[in-house]
Chain A
Amino acid sequence: NAGVTQTPKFQVLKTGQSMTLQCAQDMNHNSMYWYRQDPGMGLRLIYYSASEGTTDKGEVPNGYNVSRLNKREFSLRLESAAPSQTSVYFCASSTGWVAKNIQYFGAGTRLSVL
C-alpha cells in the first residue's frame, strides 16, 4: 500500500526553468493538496482540489499552477522558477468528507532554484 507517492524526490533548477511535480494516491481519496514547507514558516497550502475536476487557490498560489488529472493524480507546475520557490513540497490527500478529514502526506520533493 503506497499511499501518497511524489516524484521526483529531489530537483535542482535554474531560474526561469519550468518543471512539474507529480503526485498520485492509491487510497481512493476525493481531495488532494499541495503544500510548501520552509524553515520557520511551517506548512503553507499552495493549491487544493476538493474533488476531481475542481481546484482552488490556497494561501500562497502565486507562481504555481495545478492540474487534477484524474481522481488519483494532482500535479503542481512551476512555469518560471524563482529562487524564492526553493522549498520542500508536500502533496497530501484526504477523503474530502468534512468530518474526519485526515490528510495523509507524501515523502516530499526537495527543490532548489539557483
Chain B
Amino acid sequence: EDQVTQSPEALRLQEGESSSLNCSYTVSGLRGLFWYRQDPGKGPEFLFTLYSAGEEKEKERLKATLTKKESFLHITAPKPEDSATYLCAVQRGWGGSNYKLTFGKGTLLTVNP
C-alpha cells in the first residue's frame, strides 16, 4: 500500500524566516511526486511535479527537491501570502491503478508579518 507522511503537521514562521517541509513516501515504483497548495475554503492548486531522484523545481520562493525516499519543499524568505496548507502526493509506477494519487495529510504553514 502506498503511503505518504508529511511533517511537520503545522509550522509557524516569521516573515523572511526560511524553512523546509518534508514529505516521505513509500510507493511501488515512483512515477511522480506532486506538491499542491491549498488555501482555506478552496481546492488544491498544483505547484510542482518531480519525476526522478535529484530533480529540483522552483517557483518564486518555493523549491521542491526529490530523493528516493522523500521530498522537501524549501521556502525561502516567506511572506504572509505563502500561508496555506501544502499537500504532497505520489503516483505509483506499476502494480495497477498507476494514474491515481495518494495524498499526505498536509502541512499547515503560517507566516506571520
Chain A interface residues toward B at CB < 8 A: 4, 31, 33, 40-45, 48, 50, 56, 58, 90, 92, 94, 96-108
Given A90-B43, A106-B43, A101:B99 Cβ within 8 A: yes
Chain B interface residues toward A at CB < 8 A: 31-32, 34, 36, 41-46, 49, 87, 89, 91, 97-101, 103-106
Given A31-B99, A41-B105, A94-B99, A99:B31 Cβ within 8 A: yes
**Chain B: which residue is nearest A99 at the CB level?**
B31
- Expressed in whole angstroms, the minimum distance between the Cβ of A59 and any Cβ of chain B is 9
- Expressed in whole angstroms, the minimum distance between the Cβ of A8 and any Cβ of chain B is 14
CB-based closest 9 A-B pairs: A105-B43, A42-B105, A43-B103, A105-B44, A101-B99, A42-B103, A107-B43, A108-B43, A106-B43
A4 to B43, CA, bound (A): 10
**Chain A: which residue is nearest B9 at the CB level?**
A40
4 new A-B contacts at CB < 8 Å, known A42-B105, A105-B45, A107-B43 = A42-B104, A43-B89, A90-B44, A108-B41
A79 to B78, CA, bound (A): 45
A11 to B106, CA, bound (A): 25
Contact A101 B43 (CB under 8 A): no
Contact A40 B105 (CB under 8 A): yes
List, in ascending order, chain A residues with CB within 8 A of B46's CB. Answer: 102-104
Q: Can you list 30 contacts pairing A with B, beta carbon distance less than 8 Å?
A: A4-B43, A33-B100, A40-B105, A41-B105, A42-B87, A42-B104, A42-B105, A42-B106, A43-B44, A43-B87, A43-B89, A43-B103, A48-B100, A58-B100, A96-B99, A98-B31, A98-B99, A99-B31, A100-B32, A100-B49, A101-B101, A102-B34, A102-B46, A102-B49, A103-B34, A103-B101, A104-B46, A105-B45, A107-B43, A108-B43
